[in-house]
Amino acid sequence: MATLFYEPSTRTRVSFESAMYRLGGTVISTENAREFSSAAKGETLEDTIHVMSAYVDVIVLRHDERRETHTAARAAEVSRHVPIINAGCGRSQHPTQALLDLYTIRRERKEIDGIRIAFVGDLKYGRTVRSLCYLLGKFSSVQIYFVAPTALQIESDILAYLDRHAVRYTQTESLKKIISEVDVVYMTRIQKERMPGGMSGIDQSRMEQSYRMTVTLVKQLSAYGTIMHPLPRNSEIDTLVDAMPQAAYFRQAENGLYVRMALLETIFAHH
């Protein structure tokens, strides 16, 4: 397996690599492909993939392209013999994160049908919420709350998708108002590095106060509630929350290993 990462990553790359080793495979890794691969010499992604696909049996790709949202698909087109796994594509998609998020919801709550889930924080520039919405659209009676300031609300293509799949959703600016009504709270960090004009137009300190999970807030959540976060976290979850039973984010990150093992095994079984 080759991991070709043009953007920073800890969990995704390491869990993919660990998964491959645990299945008995081996790994060739480029963790800063922007600087350390031939991209620095001006090679196109297409040429890199074309060549790499002759050296390995599967390619895990994280690309940072901002204008082009279909880099993983572009790579899959030129890969001669081997599958491409999308390990995060700009601000567009992060499908394997969505798989492990869904698995985590099932493990923590037994059921996915009928869950009430709040997505909190930067829903505009984050990609994990977008991908999880696609998967939630496959289940029934899911209710979604998008909790964010207007400038960082979820984009309309996702709402249109949810409409087509008859998923109920509401948008709100207030986490406090809805926290007692949900089963799962999915926190996200502000994606500063993806914002075109930096943080201009966004009141960061207000944002950090209003969209922050604290012990007081967790007490308003059901005792059986589940708090998730794709990680890395900044200040949006108080570390005091970590010891509370509702805090599922470290279990969620661990699940990434098992889900990626299952994914690799499924791919090799069909290839």
- Which residues sit at the interface with ligand NCD, rule CB under 6 A? 11-12, 88, 94, 97, 126-128, 189, 230-231
12 counts as catalytic: yes
Residue 244 burial (C-beta neighbours within 10 Å; 0-12, 13-18, 19+): middle
Residue with tokens 């990462």: 5
Write down the least CB distance from residue 88 to ligand NCD, Å.
5
Q: Is there a contact between 64 and 92 (Cβ–Cβ < 8 Å)? A: no
66 counts as catalytic: no
**Residue 75: closest CA among 48, 101, 97, 94:** 48
Write down the least CB distance from residue 84 to ligand NCD, Å.
17
Give the nearer residue to ligand NCD in terms of CB position, either 116 or 260: 260
Catalytic pick from 13, 62, 127, 212? 62
Those residues with Cβ within 8 angstroms of residue 118's Cβ, 6 or more apart along the chain or in another chain: 144, 145, 146, 147, 175, 178, 179, 182, 184, 185, 186
Give the nearer residue to ligand NCD in terms of CB position, either 63 or 189: 189
214 counts as catalytic: no
Specify the amino acid at residue 97.
Answer: Q
Write down the least CB distance from residue 264 to ligand NCD, Å.
17
Catalytic pick from 11, 107, 165, 194? 11
Catalytic pick from 12, 48, 96, 226? 12
Give the nearer residue to ligand NCD in terms of CB position, either 39 or 89: 89
Give the nearer residue to ligand NCD in terms of CB position, either 97 or 246: 97
Q: Which residue is nearest to ligand NCD (CB)?
A: 230
206 counts as catalytic: no
Q: Is the dihedral of CA 165, 120, 231, 114 positive or negative?
A: negative
Residue with tokens 């499908």: 95
Residues forming the active site? 11-12, 41, 62, 94
